């Protein structure tokens, strides 16, 4: 692995633990020599994460759509800032540059990005680890929702298990380092296999 994409909030959230986790992840990425790819913002957890990784000597690549960059939200001190035309182009560029995906706490965009790359793993579009840093139980609801979807027959257990969960940056990145893409059956392609 060379770079990890991190999805996270453009707000700092209500708890100091969220900012602490962003700092810890930025430090851990830099310590391990892993570059950071993220949404390019200077505010919220995005800014905390990027500033920490940069302060620790890490590579930080931001990818931000032009309309957001022009609102003075773009971080101007990054290793590299790529300004793209749309949110779709942003996500595709971030995925192309990254060898794995981590979600810190965040809002609707963070949730959407995380579920999209998890779906890409399920579909075989990429073979990269996807995980959440479950700070103070922030992602407990997502874990419950995936379990509910499995019980209700909408998600296969092996697909739900594709989401890696860690309570600390070292724990989650250790899981990434040991991760191997599983041979997940594609039963959804052949209804007779369900």
Average pLDDT over residues 159-187: 89
Q: Is this model's pTM higher than 0.85 or not?
A: yes
Taking only the tens place, the pLDDT of each residue in 153-166 is: 999 999 999 999 99
Average pLDDT over residues 132-155: 97
Look at the alpha carbons of 130, 135, 140, 141 in this order and tell me if their dihedral is positive or negative: negative
- The count of other CB atoms within 10 Å of the CB of residue 108 is 8
Residue 182 is predicted with a pLDDT of: 80
Taking only the tens place, the pLDDT of each residue in 85-96 is: 999 999 999 999
Question: What is the helix (H) or strand (E) element at residue 170, kind and residue range?
Answer: helix 169-178
In degrees to the nearest 10, what's the CA dihedral of 116, 120, 121, 123? 130
Query: Distance between CA 31 and CA 56 in Å, rounded?
Result: 8
Average pLDDT over residues 14-18: 98
Between 38 and 125, name the one with better pLDDT. 38
**pLDDT category, 193, cuts 50, 70, 90?**
very low
**Residue 134 pLDDT exceeds 60:** yes
Kindly state the percentage of the chain with pLDDT values over 70: 94
Residue 192 is predicted with a pLDDT of: 47
Taking only the tens place, the pLDDT of each residue in 19-61 is: 999 999 999 999 999 999 999 999 999 999 999 999 999 999 9
**Residue 70 pLDDT exceeds 90:** no
Residue 194 is predicted with a pLDDT of: 40
Mean per-residue pLDDT of the chain: 93
Among 43, 44, 75, 70, CA closest to 60: 75
């Amino acid at each position: 692995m060379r770079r990890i994409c991190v999805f996270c909030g453009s707000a700092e959230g209500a708890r100091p633990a969220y900012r602490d986790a962003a700092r810890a992840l930025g430090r851990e990425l830099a310590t391990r020599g892993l570059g950071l790819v993220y949404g390019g913002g200077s505010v919220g957890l995005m800014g905390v994460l990027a500033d920490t990784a940069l302060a620790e000597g890490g590579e930080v690549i931001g990818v931000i759509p032009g309309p957001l960059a022009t609102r003075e939200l773009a971080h101007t001190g990054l290793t590299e800032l790529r300004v793209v035309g749309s949110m779709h182009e942003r996500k595709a560029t971030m995925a192309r540059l990254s060898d794995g995906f981590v979600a810190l706490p965040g809002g609707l965009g963070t949730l959407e990005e995380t579920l999209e790359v998890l779906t890409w793993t399920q579909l075989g579009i990429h073979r990269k680890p996807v995980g959440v840093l479950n700070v103070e139980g922030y992602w407990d609801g997502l874990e419950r929702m995936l379990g509910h979807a499995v019980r209700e027959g909408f998600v296969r257990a092996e697909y739900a298990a594709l989401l890696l969960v860690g309570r600390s940056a070292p724990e989650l990145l250790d899981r990434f380092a040991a991760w191997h893409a599983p041979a997940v059956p594609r039963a959804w392609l052949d209804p007779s296999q369900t």
